């Protein structure tokens, strides 16, 4: 089902009908020429591939974006307050809003960081919040909060430049918000928390799926792109090793690797992509790390259930954007509901990401459902269940024809002195009709997102 067409949609189709369709090929050529890749490992082989791109943009009205913007500023503010509280005073737990046991069982909760407050008390610097627009009530719904290392912003940033050059008519005739300010949002956020020194982007290296993005963003935000062995910790301070042997102090790290790999002397000792001593430098207040260490607890799919409660608890406000209806088998009442309605629910493993560990009840056999019930019963904290949100399709121009595909929207929210919602985002669509999984790691493609002025 498609969203109701707006004036902007009509305008788009009017201009689109007059454009030379052959020029669509230029997008792929551009992405190949500039190696705009999202890499994959398949059967042990490293495969460089460009993300499939669809020329039909997602168009978001000014009114819709205004609500999304307010809702996301509210949500990320509350999530940041939750993390700060959780690792310091634990008021929300002591007041019984979030069960202590439930939090402590979250894989992303790192007890060793209890009592530590990072620079400017900011932990959720760069966030990717996944939304869909529910066709049942025409409202945007939050599906997931990504508060660790959300990726994807470089793709729309890169493609927009090309889009404007290939099809300038749209940008001349439609009032589309410009998007180039995003790297500045990140740079400002980095500078705000910087503990004295240069800004860097820490990448696992050339063979990471999102290496293109690491390199692109480092360039655009004016930070040095480095790998772990190009850094050194001396006296609890982090240094960048310059080619001439000089050590330059680092004040803020935009890390593109998970907590587990960040520091082999603190986390996984086998990590070859981490910096020994980095956590100590962080805990000594000598360097800011964005996003904060230990954020995994807040983007745990189980904790997601509690975000509307956090908004009310910390801000005294009603949530502007709603969660998808979610049930926790951890609670007896919810477990009963889930077991009685498995066929119509989506079951998610809280420890998985990237579209993995998502099971659709309607697509499962009776035996599989029975097996799943046993697994859930044995470890209820590991799962959540959600009502299947029938979100809108988006028109896609695939194989020379317009076809409908499921699409979500990842909004990027940057927290520095202020909280900014980028006036673009990553619209991801499923390559096959009827598929609800749109993740890039599941082979999904992307579209440009036009926010109307």
How many angstroms separate the CA atoms of 173 and 27, rounded? 21
Among 90, 134, 230, 334, binds another protein (CB under 8 A): 230
How many angstroms separate the CA atoms of 70 and 63, rounded? 11
Our CB check for another protein shows the closer of 18 and 243 to be 243
Among 195, 225, 438, 451, binds another protein (CB under 8 A): 225
Closest CA to 357 of 437, 261, 430, 428: 437
How many angstroms separate the CA atoms of 231 and 274, rounded? 10
Asked if 247 contacts 232 with a C-beta cutoff of 8 angstroms, the reply is yes
Residues 6+ away with beta carbon under 8 Å from 449: 57, 58, 60, 156, 409, 424, 425, 426, 427
Q: Is 94 in the site for another protein (CB under 8 A)?
A: no
Q: Is 242 in the site for another protein (CB under 8 A)?
A: yes
Residues 6+ away with beta carbon under 8 Å from 268: 260, 261, 274
Segment 194 to 223, residues that bind another protein, using CB under 8 A:
198, 206, 211, 215-216, 218-219
Residues 6+ away with beta carbon under 8 Å from 95: 313
Q: Is 224 in the site for another protein (CB under 8 A)?
A: yes
Asked if 287 contacts 197 with a C-beta cutoff of 8 angstroms, the reply is yes
Segment 137 to 196, residues that bind another protein, using CB under 8 A:
none
Our CB check for another protein shows the closer of 95 and 219 to be 219
Size, binding site for another protein by CB under 8 A: 23
Q: Is 26 in the site for another protein (CB under 8 A)?
A: no
Least Å distance, CB 78 to another protein, is: 35
Q: Is 35 in the site for another protein (CB under 8 A)?
A: yes
Least Å distance, CB 199 to another protein, is: 11
Closest CA to 275 of 261, 290, 296, 295: 261
Q: Is 248 in the site for another protein (CB under 8 A)?
A: yes
Least Å distance, CB 202 to another protein, is: 12
Our CB check for another protein shows the closer of 112 and 206 to be 206
Least Å distance, CB 278 to another protein, is: 16
Q: Is 226 in the site for another protein (CB under 8 A)?
A: yes
Q: What is the CA radius of gyration of the chain?
A: 22
Residues that bind another protein (CB under 8 A): 32-35, 198, 206, 211, 215-216, 218-219, 224-227, 230, 240-245, 248
């Amino acid at each position: 089902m498609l969203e109701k067409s707006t004036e902007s949609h009509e305008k788009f189709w009017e201009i689109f009908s007059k454009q030379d369709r052959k020029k669509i090929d230029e997008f792929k050529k551009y992405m190949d020429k500039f190696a705009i890749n999202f890499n994959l490992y398949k059967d042990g082989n490293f495969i460089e591939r460009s993300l499939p791109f669809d020329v039909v943009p997602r168009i978001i009205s000014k009114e819709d974006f205004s609500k999304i913007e307010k809702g996301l500023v509210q949500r990320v503010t509350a999530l940041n307050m939750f993390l700060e509280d959780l690792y310091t005073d634990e008021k929300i737990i002591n007041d019984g809003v979030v069960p202590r046991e439930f939090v402590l069982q979250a894989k992303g909760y790192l007890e060793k960081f209890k009592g530590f407050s990072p620079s400017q008390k900011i932990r959720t610097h760069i966030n990717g919040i996944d939304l869909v627009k529910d066709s049942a009530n025409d409202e945007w719904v939050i599906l997931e909060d990504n508060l660790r290392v959300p990726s994807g912003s470089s793709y729309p940033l890169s493609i927009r430049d090309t889009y404007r050059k290939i099809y300038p008519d749209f940008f001349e005739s439609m009032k589309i918000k410009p998007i180039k300010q995003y790297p500045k949002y990140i740079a400002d956020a980095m500078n705000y928390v910087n503990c004295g020194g240069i800004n860097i982007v820490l990448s696992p290296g050339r063979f990471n799926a999102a290496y293109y993005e690491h390199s692109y963003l480092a360039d655009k935000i004016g930070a040095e792109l480095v790998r772990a062995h190009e850094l050194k910790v001396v006296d609890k301070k982090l240094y960048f090793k310059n080619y001439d042997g000089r050590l330059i102090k680092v004040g803020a790290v935009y890390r593109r690797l998970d907590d587990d790999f960040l520091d082999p002397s603190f986390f996984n000792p086998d990590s070859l992509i981490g910096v020994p001593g980095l956590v100590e430098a962080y805990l000594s207040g000598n360097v800011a790390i964005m996003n904060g260490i230990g954020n995994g607890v807040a983007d745990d799919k189980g904790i997601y259930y509690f975000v509307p409660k956090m908004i009310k608890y910390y801000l005294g406000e009603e949530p502007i954007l709603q969660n998808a209806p979610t049930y926790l088998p951890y609670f007896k009442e919810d477990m009963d509901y889930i077991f009685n309605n498995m066929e119509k629910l989506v079951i998610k493993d809280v420890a998985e990401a990237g579209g993995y560990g998502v099971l659709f009840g309607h697509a499962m056999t009776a035996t599989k459902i029975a097996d799943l019930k046993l697994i859930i019963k044995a470890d209820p904290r590991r799962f959540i269940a959600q009502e299947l949100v029938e979100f809108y399709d988006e028109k896609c121009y695939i194989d020379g024809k317009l076809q409908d595909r499921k699409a979500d929207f990842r909004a990027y929210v940057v927290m520095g002195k202020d909280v900014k919602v980028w006036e673009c985002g990553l619209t991801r669509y499923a390559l096959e009709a009827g598929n609800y999984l749109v993740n890039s790691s599941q082979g999904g493609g992307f579209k440009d997102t036009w926010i109307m002025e």
